[in-house]
Structure 1
């Protein structure tokens, strides 16, 4: 088979921090990331799909791609990064040289369908660019992206007819049965437009598209595979189609034919959640002309600009891990507004992104249960301008909601109701407490109160009445009580800062509801029945649906009181008992088969499960009990075992950037244990030197010496040259600029940062 002629520039290496990104990390194992092309927080995620299995078997393909798969079935334009569940995979495109097959076929049977074998040796994965050779066709496929457009360049082998297949059936998870209706049309000017409605994770989701080719098609065939109808069109005088130009149905496939090409074919695709008209407008405003290399250069430049917010020095492996994590933390939420300012809301109606501060870009894709912990606090620190837009988007979504509450797990503007809590509250409160402005704080407060008092949601009615979520009324009653209590605390902090004392008092009181699920006899959080009794029997090792906890067991959730760690230490019986129980968590001998039925619980160190978010703050809790050297010890365990610069280098779902944001903060030496406060708990750094270039023009640097495996412990810390004897930083100290320096040593220091006054205490210091 004749191979494609690959342009010399196709394999060029980017410069800047974009060159340090390896999008392969997380594409193997359970990382659930994708390797394709996108720009920071962009609407388009143009990436190869190796499989789209049914719901029962699809967990590992949540991003459409698994590194160990042998074939590619096409390139689709929408993907989640690191989600534990999925959907999307919209507008699948496949270049074909030679005979066209209309079904994907069997990956184990070459030639049985349109999917193609490929080799990783031919792949190029860079920030904003992806390329691969489709071995069965000899086609070199290159992808890049803009904010609203995916750009393809296909180099076909000589002597073979060139085709582009468009399949509107596939969708990640159960692709064959999710399409409710679709239509596509070839416009008189050669553009291809269409929409489809799916019944997936967000039922009734509509996605429209517009597509153009750099060269005129010679013919086309539009298929409805459900009825076997096929409409064929041939280019007549003036390249005007002579007969049918549209198809409608639930199983639409189209083949666009270009004859034998002498030069690469470029394709550009825009999407819209609103309409075909808007997709065409997105394509026109953002995608004039044909210059794939210029678009690729623009995507690289966008990533270099975004990643330049932090400069890190270190080995190639260290910088690759760091900047890939930063890259993954800058993928979501995603732009969900068309160029005319319209977006689809949770009521499925069309809205305009406009508020008292004017027009703005609306963002969606919110895995709240995950990203409030570190990913959104990272954006508050690095990109407060984006935090403002994100909060304006949350308020707009609430105002468009038929239930009048903030998003829980939303994407493309629609709500899924997945996971627990009302964690949009700490996202907003954390930003406000740390000085982010530019959004309507009064509207935000109304939205927060409405979300925290909407009785039908998650049995909030019983929670407000009893002070806890009864397990006989609602599954996962213990963890839901804990999460609600923390969210209530975050609301109280913002209300207090706004001078709303009545609201603050109400929710400050509710913040103590965690005590209602604390069992002093077992020293675990446990669910209660409506009659006030703890549910029996009780097994702290058990995890699974219907248990007391969300994706966790008692060993993992009993530490979740970020708003009152001092109170939790007291409940355990003091520092010694608290740290001893923490040690039990990390040192336990646990068979991973314990969680064989809970696929999200991965990355085990004892009972600690770094692959799932309820564990993410636990290693830092030693700081609060006078044992910061143990925080340092545990962080090294986690960093050494849970992250690696290879495709299976993430031990759990990246969860829209949370796993990666944890890495960034931890590598820098501090972490936001309690979003909604101005404190960061200090751990230890994992980079020799880093400079954070803040939006106010200041630079805050972190340095460590010596930084190697022989010196894993902190001996002393200075802030701007002066000794720092506490194990927390204030947000204002970072914003002021300066240098945080760690003197590392071989043995643990059991004097630095151990005193009561040295400990983090978000409750008492939130307003510093």
Structure 2
């Protein structure tokens, strides 16, 4: 019976019971451009880590454009997308669009106006009213599973009622077939927008689909398949009686059409929209309920729980019930797989966040990276779904080291060692004959570009390799991670070797500037880059999406060494002051994300406390425009979550978290081991941002850090907060790495 279910849903509001976290999530946050910035997010309806995300489509997505932007006036379809971030492409996607009147296949012609007042966007459900050309309304509803979706389209009482299925866009040789006896449209889309960026051609790659209608269509046909016109899209459509509630379910697969049907049989076995929504609701509730917040307003809870929603979308599942297609050898395999690791971004805070909120998936994610290593020769840096050679460093090394440090054991440790060792010791093909430009086409897998020089000189020269200074500093951190893997596996000689090499970051410190500075192959200082670069040539300076100010503090593992290089904690703190006061901190991009927490290393933790609060207020809002910078697969959101809780993983593979300023009276995490970690902040407020004292399980905590073990033990971290800075935590000093 339906009546008791409705009562359960409305009763909390009637009697003033506590709202569940899911009701606070607003998937539209980050979809609009604003004075804060543009998050480039989409209002996905899908479970955590879903293989396929479903979203309304207001524009044709491509690299640098997402499917949905809040300010657009029309909807052109509902897309099953695999685009993980604005600067990445989509692949194997499928679009459905309800329409009336004459058949319109082109996106610009089929768009229908809508109003946000008629739009409902939730993680488990999306609904909107579309206005037809003759002033009538099509009501569209959507809910989903890990690989499938189910739609309800309510058409007007008169005119044509049609569902368009676009299998590919102009210039892409997609395919569709109609089977009127089974009420089904099947086919595939072979498009990979990022195909030009990686070394692999993948002739077997296809995004397969099975679209099934509950009602028998009056008419069903393909379109665009028999035309030689490359400007035409391809697909099929089905027409129904006017006024009908047309129900559609869609299965997606990267293995076959039959697997798409099998995914439907497993995930949506019955025509029951509400049951599918209920399961999706429960999946999100289980995750979101792990975070409990006290002392926050409803607006603040919306910001927090939406951030948690964003962090739980990636990496995405890329396997289908024990099998997966590998975009690294173009073959099908047995096992579990994930893709969409935006590692240059996410190794910093997103990956540590997943170890807290999705610990059950970490072993599978690391195993996926190791499978990529076996199938393609290297662990990837930005798989989408294959190698893309985007960004620098081999930060899969950090994910492996972090997993080992935190006690995850469900992956092949020796294979992990082989993978990180190759990253650290084997230069990519043609290393000294290429500049390795950002997103350079036609290159082999980039790995650690310039590694040949790094091994010879102790740095990567700016006149030989692009982005060389940034690469040197990030490779130094990755070397530290490789050292930790060696240590965990008892490889003492390798541990010492890579630990020493992790200090190569110090080779770029220019004492005359008090900043990191690229070097040329003959040992001369390169132009500094940024405002101080009179030549205005960032390429010669050697930076990646930044300058010397953005990268000086980037060796996450060696802040104590940087303190020494700068002449002590006071000088280090003054340089940080100059960084912030000079406008060099760009929170919309990841290299700056840990900088606010570095005052802990300067013996000035009260400045960390103030700066964290300042950034959270400036960079994160409460509505559609409330997210600065591309969310980068949850990294921007993870920063906010950690900062709200009052701690942050400056060195994510170390198992240590630096203390900031907790924002609410209590936040707790229900851990995978069944225990609960709590942060209590007495007297906290917007003004009372400064820590006066701290206790960990009733004992004084005098150092501005906590460890993974303390969190996993289910400790209670309690702060006394006040309106003025205190000296709490200022005596702590980090120990520099020894080169011996």
TM-score (norm 2): 0.89
1:407 matches 2:407: no
Q: Which of 714, 720, 730 is the matching residue for 1:754?
A: 730
The range that moved more, 138-147 or 374-383, is: 374-383
Check if 1:486 corresponds to 2:480: no
Would the aligned equivalents of 1:34 and 1:65 in 2 still touch at CA under 8 Å? yes
* Correspondence 1:204-215 to 2 at 5 A: 204=202, 205-215=205-215
Greater alpha carbon shift after TM alignment, 619-628 vs 433-442: 433-442
CA distance in 2, matches of 1:183, 1:717: 63
2:168 alignment partner, SS class: coil
Question: Which residue number in structure 2 is paired with residue 21 of structure 1?
Answer: 25
1:221 aligns with 2:213: no
Whether 2:94 is the aligned partner of 1:100: answer no
Following the alignment from structure 1 to structure 2, what is the Cα–Cα distance between the partners of residues 393 and 640?
37
Counterpart CA distance in 1 for 2:28 and 2:529 is 42
CA 1:116/1:225 → structure 2, altered by over 3 Å: closer, same or farther?
A: farther
**Per-residue deviation, residues 118-151 of structure 1 (Å, max 9, x unmatched):** 1000110112211111122511111111011022
Change (3 A) 1:368 1:693: same
For the residues of structure 2 that align with 1:147 and 1:580, how far apart are their CA atoms?
50
RMSD: 2.2
Preserved CA contact (<8 Å) 2:177 2:236: no
Match 1:463 to one of 449, 454, 459: 454
Q: Deviations over 1:580-624 (max 9, x none)?
A: 111112112xxxxxxxxxxxxxxxxx2111110000010101001
Q: Distance in 1 between matches of 2:331 and 2:231?
A: 23
- What is the aligned partner in structure 2 of residue 630 from structure 1? 607
- 1:679 maps to 656
How many Å separate the matches in 2 of 1:34 and 1:134? 19
Question: Do the aligned residues in 1 keep the contact of 2:92 with 2:206 (CA within 8 Å)?
Answer: no
Secondary structure of the corresponding residue to residue 84 of structure 1: coil
Which of 249, 253, 268 matches 1:268? 249
CA distance in 2, matches of 1:273, 1:471: 41
**What is the alpha-carbon distance in structure 1 between the residues aligned to residue 414 and residue 164 of structure 2?**
50
2:441 aligns with none
Q: Distance in 2 between matches of 1:182 and 1:546?
A: 44
Cα separation, partners in 2 of 1:93 and 1:761, compared to 1, 3 Å: farther
* 3-state SS of 2:383 partner: strand
Residue 163 of structure 1 pairs with residue 162 of structure 2:
yes
> Contact 1:45 / 1:78 at 8 angstroms: preserved in 2?
yes
Aligned counterpart, 1:118:
114
- Distance change (3 Å), C-alpha of 1:433 and 1:452: same
Q: Which of the numbers 357, 360, 381 marks the counterpart of 2:356?
A: 381
From 270, 284, 298, the equivalent of 1:303 is 284
Structure 1: 5+ residue stretches without partners:
1-7, 106-112, 171-175, 230-247, 354-360, 589-605
CA-to-aligned-CA distance 1:706-763 (integer Å, 9 cap, x gap):
12122121111111122211101011111111211111111111x21111xx245595
SS in 1 for 2:685: coil
Aligned mates of 2:309, 2:375 — CA distance in 1: 31
1-structure distance, mates of 2:206, 2:501: 39
Q: Residue 329 of structure 1 contacts residue 375 of structure 1 at CA under 8 Å; is this kept in 2? A: yes
Aligned residue pairs total 687
Deviation at 1:275, TM superposition (A): 2.1
- Check the 8 A contact 1:32/1:84 in 2, yes or no: no
Aligned to 2:463: 472
Matches of 1:543 and 1:622, distance apart in 2 = 31
- The residue that corresponds to 1:194 in the other structure is 187
Equivalent positions of 1:17-416 (< 5 A) are: 17-29=21-33, 30-52=38-60, 59=64, 61=65, 63-88=66-91, 90-105=93-108, 113-136=109-132, 138-170=137-169, 176-177=170-171, 179=172, 181-187=173-179, 188-203=181-196, 204=202, 205-224=205-224, 227=227, 251-262=233-244, 264-313=245-294, 314-353=296-335, 361-401=336-376, 404-412=377-385, 414-416=386-388
Quick one: structure 1 residues 89 and 704, their matched pair in 2 at CA, closer, same or farther if it must change by over 3 Å? farther
**Pair 1:761–1:734, CA change in 2 (3 A):** farther
Q: 1:23 touches 1:34 (CA, 8 Å); kept in 2?
A: yes
1:563 and 1:53 map into 2 onto residues whose CA distance is: 38
Tell me the distance in 2 between the aligned counterparts of 1:210 and 1:440.
36
Counterparts of 2:242 and 2:365, CA distance in 1: 47
Contact between 2:318 and 2:339, CA under 8 Å: does it hold in 1?
yes
Alignment-derived partner of residue 642 in structure 2 = 665
C-alpha change, 1:760 and 1:298, in structure 2 (3 Å) is farther
> C-alpha displacement at 1:318, in angstroms?
1.5
Quote how far apart the aligned CAs of 1:345 are. 3.2
- Determine the C-alpha separation between the residues in 1 that align with 2:712 and 2:736: 18
In 1, Cα distance between equivalents of 2:689 and 2:656 = 24
Within 5 Å, give how 1:490-505 maps onto structure 2.
490-505=481-496
- Are 2:85 and 2:631, in contact at CA under 8 Å, matched by a contact in 1? yes
Deviations 1:58-85 (A, max 9, x none): x3x3x31111111111111014354433
Deviation, structure 1 residue 520: 1.4
- Say whether 1:563 aligns with 2:563: no
**Do 2:194 and 2:388's aligned partners in 1 also have CA atoms closer than 8 Å?**
yes
Contact 2:530 2:538 (8 Å CA) reproduced: no
Contact kept? 1:543, 1:551, Cα under 8 Å: no
Report what 1:580 is aligned to: 574
**Separation in 1, partners of 2:540, 2:227:** 43
Distance in 2 (alpha carbons) for counterparts of 1:537 and 1:675:
28
Q: Is the 8 A contact 2:463 2:540 kept in 1?
A: no
Compared with structure 1, are the counterparts of its residues 537 and 307 closer, same or farther at alpha carbon in structure 2 (3 Å cutoff)?
Answer: closer
CA drift of 1:225 comes to: 7.0
Moved segments of 4+, more than 4 Å = 12-15, 537-547, 760-764
Partner of 2:544: 550
Residues 228 and 116 of structure 1: is their aligned pair in 2 closer, same or farther, counting only changes over 3 Å? farther
**Offset of 1:291 from its aligned partner?**
0.6
Q: Secondary structure of 1:198's match?
A: coil
Who is 1:616 aligned against? 593
Partner-residue secondary structure (3-state), 1:295? helix
3-state DSSP class of the match of 1:134?
strand
TM-score, length basis structure 1:
0.86
Aligned equivalents of 2:507 and 2:150: distance in 1? 55
Give 1:658 shift: 0.5
Contact 2:27–2:122 (Cα < 8 Å) also in 1: yes
Q: Does the CA contact (< 8 Å) of 1:161 and 1:261 recur in 2?
A: no
**Distance (Å, rounded) in 1 between the aligned partners of 2:348 and 2:556:** 10
Q: Does the CA contact (< 8 Å) of 1:310 and 1:692 recur in 2?
A: yes
Query: Which deviates further from its counterpart, 678-687 or 279-288?
Result: 279-288
- Equivalent-residue separation in structure 2 for 1:540 and 1:560 (angstroms): 19
SS at match of 1:625: coil
Measured against aligned partners, the alpha-carbon deviations of 1:318-372 in whole angstroms (never above 9, x if no partner) come to 211111111100000111112352222312222221xxxxxxx311111010110
Given the superposition, is the C-alpha separation of residues 535 and 543 from structure 1 closer, same or farther in structure 2, using an over 3 Å criterion?
Answer: closer
Query: Matches of 2:290 and 2:663 in 1, distance apart?
Result: 18
CA distance, structure 2, for counterparts of residue 280 and residue 305 of structure 1: 28
What is the distance in 1 between the residues matched to 2:218 and 2:477?
A: 62
- Counterparts of 1:433 and 1:415 in 2: how far apart (Å)? 27
2:407 equivalent in structure 1: 435
CA drift at 1:538: 4.9
Structure 1: distance between partners of 2:195 and 2:671: 37
Q: Is the 8 A contact 2:210 2:250 kept in 1?
A: yes
Determine the structure 2 residue equivalent to 1:523.
514
